[in-house]
Structure 1
Amino acid sequence: MKVSDRVNGIAPSGSIQVAAQITNLRNQGRDIIGLNVGEPDFSPRESILEAIYEALKAGKTRYSYVRGEPELRSAIAGYFNMRCKTDIHQENILVGNGSKQIIFNTFQSILNDGDEVIVPIPYWVTIPESIKLAGGESIFVNSKENFHLDINAIKKAISKKTKAIYINTPNNPSGVVYTREELTELGKLCIEHDLMLVSDEAYESLTYDTEFISPLMLGEEIAKRSVSIQSFSKTFCMTGFRVGYMVAHEDFIKKVDSFQGHLCGNIPSFTQLGAVNAIKHQEEIIGEMLSTMKERRDVAFKLFSQLFKTNEPQGAFYLFLDITPYIEKGLVKDSMEMVQKLIEEAGVALVPGKFFGMNNYIRLAFTDTVERIELAYEKIQKVLA
């Protein structure tokens, strides 16, 4: 069967490829410690499941509002205002099938063929493909050594074709949380050059000892050209429920609503009521996860910084490990080879930095128990000794 050049040109998701390999090895009886998975190992709160069950019994099984149930959008607006000290309303919200679809919606809605999007390195694996599918081109820009934004490099990358700047804070894979100062500078660049600022904030609830800042918090001029992309997956441990949303100017929401109406319509009505329940219990859900993840971060950073150069994550749940010394010693040639070596010889799965634009790094997710993280360290230490 012939497929389009557009689909043929898509690179498979590297993280999904690694996950598939690990599943296959486990089916063969191998005990693999999966520090590759960007998914919290918490179950959804029982009340969320009960709310969905009650919604099903009440007949919430039919078509609904494309942009999301008013009750959910109102709850999201309240949550966002509380977290970010903003004054947005449900008219500023559109709900979609996870943040992946919201990212897809955004680029499809702002890009024409040949438009450019500036993407700081490292970046999430899905971003270049989403831009490509929208007819755009990713212009990759190196970040500073500590993975914070290099505003001067971004400024130099702006051309007549530039339509938007994409950022991810807290960052996957580096764990960096961008500061108010650097985001304000970035926002001023967007105003000066009439650009959109696409801010992927899926990990906004997972910040450690630092302040999360969204561009929507930085004044009306920056906010009206910004899109905040959020997810229930990480914040509320609802990865399989596929609930994501965007926060943006009402005029932009209306345009994206039209696009989503043809793409998929609404997400399941009953799932949305589960999301409403999650927001009602936000303090318990986020508090428990944040406390656990901070403990794991502290343990993982203390251990793995003995083997690799790495920054202490300010947010999300990843360590980005520099493998340059092992490449220079000839132990491996790149991140792909290092990840395969650790899977085969240590029984520990990580993700190659190649998929994040940095082939001399590997990503570790501290989404398993402290005991498993410590065991993974012992196994990797033996392989690299």
Structure 2
Amino acid sequence: MTGSRTSQTFLPPVMEARRWIAGKPFPKDKPLINVSQAAPIEPPPKALREKIAETALSVPEAHIYGPVLGLPELRSELAQQWCQNYGGQITLEQVGITSGCNQAFAAAISSLTNQGDEIILPTPWYFNHKMWLDMQGVSAVPLPSGAGLLPDIAMAESLISEKTRAIVLVTPNNPAGVEYPASLVMDFYLLAKKHGIALIIDETYRDFDSRSAAPHELFKQSDWPQTLIQLYSFSKAYRLTGHRVGAIVTSEGRLQDIEKFLDTVTICPNQLGQHAALWGMQNLGKWLAGERDEILSRRAAIASNMPILERAGWKLLGLGAYFAYLKHPFDLPSDQLAQELVDEAHVLALPGTMFHPEGSIDGARQLRLAFANVDGEQIKELFNRLAAYHPKS
């Protein structure tokens, strides 16, 4: 008997990495530096926590089933702010709220595909995207990145087949941090439109994009709902990871199918989390700008400390949002390297093998550092440890 589709995919990478440090002591003079997970570990700001508590006490309907597609007030607020930010036309009826951005991706794929269909994923890819496709019996078609870890439009077109249902872009990218130029994003939109497939653009980290202007002009296209599916997460912006609140922006027709999926999975998004996200959007603009400034300062610290690693043979491949993506100089594969770094350097990072197809030569030479939870001084210490590391074998 063959296993289920779920059994065919790999174990959750972040959980696997946590097992590498389980039960291991780290001395006070050289504590573990954890750059494995791209999520803030600090709680939401006090004002937002107070709003959550107030809602829990004074809004009875926050404790019962809500609308499957989310609170109308939150959907409307997102539509209005996106119209301002992107300069396009978006309505409440084109916005759905989901239980995190991962569920938004799962819902989009479920609305697009049948078993045996194909989705084009640029590599290095976000591992949860690959896992969901595996579990749906949908083939992930790797699109190798080119110079600057940017996906190549001509190569993407060569991979489109009669089974292709969508191309997925993540920008700023996870795991590489790269911000895709607006012109490249538009080229992919036009390519998807030409072939009658969807363009899924995951903008989980849009709030930490270094560009002051809108990152793309897709919503300015009058027919964007026919091609574009945008995914978003409130988790990173407002530190609401435990509340699981995400969003999907697409056509009204597709949202009707997505509503079927959501109703059979969670019935409705977390009510307290939605109220928190709404209050955050309406009241925490200045605070979020400060969060962005801090992430950009840490990005600058990565860049300024890179000479330490370059002298030891490392190379910076991508940098942005929460991520630095590196090429290491050693002969051993990155999955072995990552585990050795725990014991020898007291550093927990994710290997490139987790972001590439099995057996990938590129994946074996790469390492992801997620720096959302390390400050400038810790980044300097991290780079000193990596530069001083030499494989045991």
TM norm structure 1:
0.92
- Would the aligned equivalents of 1:119 and 1:141 in 2 still touch at CA under 8 Å? yes
- Would the aligned equivalents of 2:88 and 2:221 in 1 still touch at CA under 8 Å? no
Residues 83-118 of structure 1 show CA distances to partners (whole Å, capped at 9, x for unaligned) of 222221111111111101111111111101111101
- Would the aligned equivalents of 2:148 and 2:318 in 1 still touch at CA under 8 Å? no
Give the equivalent residue in structure 1 for 2:360. Answer: none
Residues 159-184 of structure 1 show CA distances to partners (whole Å, capped at 9, x for unaligned) of 11111111101101111111121112
Measure, in 1, the Cα distance between the counterparts of 2:23 and 2:91.
46
Measure, in 2, the Cα distance between the counterparts of 1:321 and 1:134.
31
- Would the aligned equivalents of 1:188 and 1:222 in 2 still touch at CA under 8 Å? no
Give the equivalent residue in structure 2 for 1:320. Answer: 325
Mapped pair 1:163 → 2:165: yes
| Pairing of 1:44-55 with structure 2 (within 5 A) | 44-55=44-55
Measure, in 1, the Cα distance between the counterparts of 2:69 and 2:96.
5
Aligned match for 1:373, one of 373, 379, 382: 379
1:235 to partner: Cα distance: 1.7
Give the equivalent residue in structure 1 for 2:97. Answer: 95
Aligned match for 1:207, one of 181, 193, 209: 209
- The one-letter amino acid of 1:361's match is Q
Give the equivalent residue in structure 2 for 1:342. Answer: 341
SS in 2 for 1:139: strand
Structure 1: segments with no counterpart, 5+ residues: 328-332
Aligned match for 1:359, one of 353, 359, 364: 364
Measure, in 2, the Cα distance between the counterparts of 1:57 and 1:17.
38
Measure, in 2, the Cα distance between the counterparts of 1:120 and 1:316.
18
Q: Which moved more, 1:9-18 or 1:195-204?
A: 9-18
Q: Which moved more, 1:28-37 or 1:276-285?
A: 28-37
Give the equivalent residue in structure 2 for 1:330. Answer: none
1:192 to partner: Cα distance: 1.4
| Pairing of 1:301-312 with structure 2 (within 5 A) | 301-307=303-309, 308-311=314-317
SS in 1 for 2:287: helix
Give the equivalent residue in structure 2 for 1:81. Answer: 83
Give the equivalent residue in structure 2 for 1:15. Answer: 14
- Would the aligned equivalents of 1:199 and 1:214 in 2 still touch at CA under 8 Å? no
| Pairing of 1:131-170 with structure 2 (within 5 A) | 131-170=133-172
- Would the aligned equivalents of 1:47 and 1:277 in 2 still touch at CA under 8 Å? no
1:270 to partner: Cα distance: 2.2
SS in 2 for 1:5: coil
Measure, in 2, the Cα distance between the counterparts of 1:72 and 1:252.
19
Aligned match for 2:193, one of 187, 191, 210: 191
Q: Structure 1 residues 303, 34: CA separation in 2 closer, same or farther (over 3 Å shift)?
A: same
Give the equivalent residue in structure 2 for 1:129. Answer: 131
Measure, in 2, the Cα distance between the counterparts of 1:291 and 1:53.
28
1:129 to partner: Cα distance: 1.3
Equivalent pairs, count: 377
1:274 to partner: Cα distance: 1.0
Mapped pair 1:244 → 2:246: yes
1:344 to partner: Cα distance: 0.9
- Would the aligned equivalents of 1:216 and 1:223 in 2 still touch at CA under 8 Å? no
Q: Structure 1 residues 206, 215: CA separation in 2 closer, same or farther (over 3 Å shift)?
A: same
Q: Structure 1 residues 210, 13: CA separation in 2 closer, same or farther (over 3 Å shift)?
A: farther
Measure, in 2, the Cα distance between the counterparts of 1:157 and 1:54.
52
Residues 36-89 of structure 1 show CA distances to partners (whole Å, capped at 9, x for unaligned) of 121124431222222222222121211110000111111121222222222211
Q: Structure 1 residues 241, 28: CA separation in 2 closer, same or farther (over 3 Å shift)?
A: farther
Measure, in 1, the Cα distance between the counterparts of 2:214 and 2:126.
19
- Would the aligned equivalents of 1:141 and 1:154 in 2 still touch at CA under 8 Å? yes
1:217 to partner: Cα distance: 2.5
| Pairing of 1:2-41 with structure 2 (within 5 A) | 5-25=4-24, 31-41=31-41
Q: Which moved more, 1:47-56 or 1:172-181?
A: 47-56
1:223 to partner: Cα distance: 4.2
- The one-letter amino acid of 2:371's match is F
Q: Structure 1 residues 91, 26: CA separation in 2 closer, same or farther (over 3 Å shift)?
A: farther
Give the equivalent residue in structure 1 for 2:176. Answer: 174
- Would the aligned equivalents of 2:244 and 2:270 in 1 still touch at CA under 8 Å? no
Give the equivalent residue in structure 1 for 2:359. Answer: none
Mapped pair 1:291 → 2:293: yes
1:25 to partner: Cα distance: 2.6
Measure, in 2, the Cα distance between the counterparts of 1:253 and 1:232.
19
SS in 1 for 2:167: strand
| Pairing of 1:221-236 with structure 2 (within 5 A) | 221-236=223-238
RMSD of aligned Cα (Å)? 2.1
Structure 2: segments with no counterpart, 5+ residues: 357-362
SS in 2 for 1:75: helix
Q: Structure 1 residues 146, 346: CA separation in 2 closer, same or farther (over 3 Å shift)?
A: same
Measure, in 2, the Cα distance between the counterparts of 1:169 and 1:211.
14
1:27 to partner: Cα distance: 8.7
TM norm structure 2:
0.90
Measure, in 2, the Cα distance between the counterparts of 1:220 and 1:343.
51
